[in-house]
Amino acid sequence: MRTALVEPSVGALRLAGAILRSGGLVAFPTETVYGLGASALDAGAMAEVYAVKGRAADNPLIVHVGSISEAGALGRVSTVARALAERFWPGPLTLVLPRWRGEGTVAVRCPDHPVAQTLIALARRPLAAPSANLSGRPSPTLAEHVMAELGGEIPLILDGGPTGYGVESTVLDVTSTPLRILRPGGVSQELLAKEGFDVSVQPLRPDEMPRSPGQKYRHYAPSVPMVAVGPGAGGIETIRAWAEKIQEAGRRPGVIAIGEAAGPWPGSIFPDERAMAGGLFGAMRELEAKVDVILALMPPEEGIGRAIANRLEKASAGRIYPPGHPLPDIPRGEDRS
């Protein structure tokens, strides 16, 4: 299959809408990351999303809608859910709602991006849209990232330029009391609390089926091993010490951190958490082509930093160590060949 990568002109958007109505797949930008869109009303199209991404069958999808009323056609919108949608939609907040028929839930959000909004309108149906990448890889924040992994597998990629938030939406379960954050993202726990919503963060229980992407499986991982240093005094010094030892062992380190230069190694040093969120996945993709090991410094788990920490925890497979910890063993089997 030939994949066209085009700007979202009127003609391209109309073509994309027709592809989606016919059961095809289209990659498009949102304010968080690029999504792989399919009609949420077409079981065959949904199955194709799972096949193209290599996604586990029990990893749920988020459905993108254009309004609260469209969400109400998919699940029961409670008074609290409506209040959340009125405050944060369109925007990076996904609401887990009870389904109208039978048991189970559906995760729904209204994206804050003109291309995504127009595409939903032209498709005339809700769109399932997980991140447009192979399952387990860093999410795409540029159309080129999508082409690199899904080129030849889908007919069309709409190039809307860089995404804004850079990390996915917050997923909030509104079927529980207090409200439960299943995945931290673009709307922080602090902001939800400030707006008067009682929220908690609870990990997936061993006996619980996932209600949100990113709960069960390793996600966001570069093709080389990543290890992280937790927040706190001495973190950047630990990163530097690790990088020196890795280099002495004949391997190439790369660094992702906030605040100050970490040393003479390839890396992305961000001025603050907001910038790190926007550039995190792109930095992973850039570094994996240059280095053998990526070292990351975790931000404090507050505000958008909680979402960054969640992505780093998944990407590193939980290899997070306190400042001052000696360099852990890093398997060479994961190195890029």
Give residue-wise pLDDT tens across range 93-133. 999 999 998 789 999 999 999 999 999 999 999 999 999 99
Residue 196 gets the label, from left (phi > 0), alpha (psi -120 to 50) or beta, of left
- Residues paired with residue 267 on neighbouring β-strands, in sequence order: 255
At 218 the pLDDT is 61
At 204 the pLDDT is 61
User: How far, in Å, CA of 199 to CA of 187, rounded?
Assistant: 12
* Contact (Cβ atoms closer than 8 angstroms) between residue 192 and residue 85: no
At 101 the pLDDT is 80
Q: Which residues contact 83 (CB under 8 A, 6 or more apart)?
A: 197
User: In 3-state terms, what secondary structure has residue 11?
Assistant: helix
Question: Domains of the chain, with CATH numbers?
Answer: 4-201 (3.90.870.10), 226-334 (3.40.50.11030)
* Contact (Cβ atoms closer than 8 angstroms) between residue 285 and residue 275: no
User: In 3-state terms, what secondary structure has residue 211?
Assistant: coil
Which amino acid belongs to residue 162?
A: P
User: How far, in Å, CA of 63 to CA of 131, rounded?
Assistant: 12
Among candidate residues 172, 194, 199, 191, the one with its CA nearest the CA of residue 183: 172
* Contact (Cβ atoms closer than 8 angstroms) between residue 159 and residue 143: yes
Whole-model pTM?
0.92
Instruction: Give tens-digit pLDDT for 26-50.
Output: 999 999 999 999 999 999 999 999 9
Sign of CA dihedral 285, 287, 290, 291: negative
Could you give the C-alpha distances from 222 to 47, 124, 246, 272, 294, in angstroms and in order?
25, 36, 18, 22, 9
User: In 3-state terms, what secondary structure has residue 270?
Assistant: strand
Sign of CA dihedral 258, 138, 120, 43: negative
- Residues paired with residue 294 on neighbouring β-strands, in sequence order: 226, 254
At 335 the pLDDT is 43
- Residues paired with residue 99 on neighbouring β-strands, in sequence order: 75
* Contact (Cβ atoms closer than 8 angstroms) between residue 284 and residue 294: yes
User: How far, in Å, CA of 183 to CA of 201, rounded?
Assistant: 8
User: How far, in Å, CA of 164 to CA of 180, rounded?
Assistant: 25
User: How far, in Å, CA of 323 to CA of 225, rounded?
Assistant: 19
Positions in the chain whose pLDDT score sits under 50? 216, 334-337
- Residues paired with residue 158 on neighbouring β-strands, in sequence order: 6
Which amino acid belongs to residue 291?
A: V
At 241 the pLDDT is 95
Output the CA angle 6-12-15, nearest 5 degrees.
130
